[in-house]
């Protein structure tokens, strides 16, 4: 699947975002949402994931069934099974090459805050879990500008005993040709 007219594999940002824009703190998630983790796995399986080094460190390993590209300034960073990129541009190039090789329809941007900020103007789609909480945190998601992003899907989450707080799932697509 390529974006009309661009000939490139699209970028999709996937994130869980609290009401106050917080996505994490102390290099960790600030809530437990089993439903969101299951959705993340389903959305990302068989696709390349771009993430920053701190996000990778918080996960601790490459995720099975996906290819991980880590953006880091640390030239000595090396983990078996992980592609390393020194810049977001290099990461996107690697991820698109891997997506083509894997037959994946998109590249997933998986965080954290700095990576989201660097890719927000390049992404074609946002897949957001809106978390009904306002925790203190040190990692934030960029504002979703309604002039740029049109919400095309919305569903209230089915909160289970394994979900600490209420949540909703939303999908946004870039409006017009912006």
pLDDT in tens, 66-97: 999 999 999 999 999 999 999 999 999 999 99
pLDDT at residue 2, as a whole number: 38
Rounded to an integer, what distance in angstroms lies between the CA atom of residue 76 and that of residue 79?
A: 10
pLDDT at residue 6, as a whole number: 43
The answer to whether 63 touches 42, Cβ cutoff 8 Å, is: no
Mean pLDDT of 166-170: 97
Rounded to an integer, what distance in angstroms lies between the CA atom of residue 16 and that of residue 169?
A: 9
Q: What's the Cα-to-Cα distance from 136 to each of 19, 22, 110, 157, rounded to whole Å?
A: 11, 7, 21, 23
Each residue's pLDDT tens digit, 103-134? 999 999 999 999 999 999 999 999 999 999 99
* Residue tagged 């699209």 (tokens): 10
7 pLDDT band, cuts 50/70/90, is low
Each residue's pLDDT tens digit, 23-73? 999 988 899 999 999 999 999 999 999 999 999 999 999 999 999 999 999
Rounded to an integer, what distance in angstroms lies between the CA atom of residue 154 and that of residue 106?
A: 21
Would you state the structure tokens that stand for residue 120, as one six-digit string? 């927000």
What lies within 8 Å, CB to CB, of 164 at 6+ separation is 31, 32, 33
Q: Where are the domains of the chain?
A: 11-174
Each residue's pLDDT tens digit, 126-159? 999 999 999 999 999 999 999 999 999 999 999 9
CATH 3.40.430.10 fits 11-174, yes or no: yes
Would you state the structure tokens that stand for residue 108, as one six-digit string? 């997933």
Residue 42: count of CB within 10 angstroms of its CB: 8
Residue 56: count of CB within 10 angstroms of its CB: 25
């Amino acid at each position: 699947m390529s974006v009309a007219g661009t000939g490139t594999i699209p970028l999709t940002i996937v994130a869980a975002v609290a009401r106050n824009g917080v996505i994490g703190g102390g290099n960790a998630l600030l809530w437990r949402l089993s439903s969101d983790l299951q959705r993340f796995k389903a959305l990302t399986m068989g696709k390349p994931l771009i993430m920053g080094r701190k996000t990778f460190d918080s996960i601790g390993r490459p995720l099975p069934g996906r290819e991980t590209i880590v953006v880091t300034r640390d030239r000595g960073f090396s983990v078996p099974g992980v592609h390393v990129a020194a810049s977001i541009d290099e990461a996107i190039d690697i991820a698109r090459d891997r997506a083509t090789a894997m037959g994946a329809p998109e590249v997933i941007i998986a965080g954290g805050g700095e990576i989201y900020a660097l890719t927000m103007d390049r992404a074609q789609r946002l897949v957001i879990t809106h978390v009904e909480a306002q925790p203190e945190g040190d990692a934030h998601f960029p504002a979703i500008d309604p002039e740029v992003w049109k919400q095309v899907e919305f569903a209230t989450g089915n909160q289970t005993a394994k979900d600490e707080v209420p949540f909703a799932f939303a999908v946004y697509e870039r409006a017009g040709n912006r």
